[in-house]
Amino acid sequence: MLYSPIYHIFITQITKIMKDYKYLILGGVLGLFLFSSSGTFKDSSKEPSKPLYEDKYAIRTTAEKLIKKNLRDPDSYQLIEITPETGEIITVRYRAKNGFGGYNVCTAVVTCDKETMRLISNE
């Protein structure tokens, strides 16, 4: 097969363009790497997290887990109220099955600090 001079010029131009794009892509990737490592992006993992006693959703889920651990039938747990919603000493009123199959209304007192939560009483 014979190659025409126009075909040869076309192939050489395409090859040059592809070489130019290689350097452009390599430069773009290198630039992104340098830009991201320069500290211009805000890292949200370095932000201080709220203490446990200020996060009402964490209080609710953690208190429910602590209470359910001590129940005969954890699936029967029904939350009535949590007072106050945030704080270091929380009272949880709930309904759960007793040993005879009936439901009792119970009160649990929970304390929490910045990282841990403890069940003080469960009546």
Mind listing the pLDDT tens digit for each residue in 66-83? Answer: 999 989 999 999 999 998
Q: β-pairing, 103-112 with 117-122?
A: antiparallel
pLDDT at 40: 45
pLDDT at 41: 46
**What are the C-alpha distances in Å from 16 to residues 13, 19, 20?**
5, 5, 6
Low-confidence ranges of the chain (pLDDT < 50): 40-41, 43
Task: Tell me if the pTM is above 0.75.
Answer: no
pLDDT at 48: 62
Contact partners, residue 114, CB within 8 Å, separation at least 6: 51, 52, 53
pLDDT at 91: 93
Residue-range domain boundaries for the chain? 5-40, 52-122
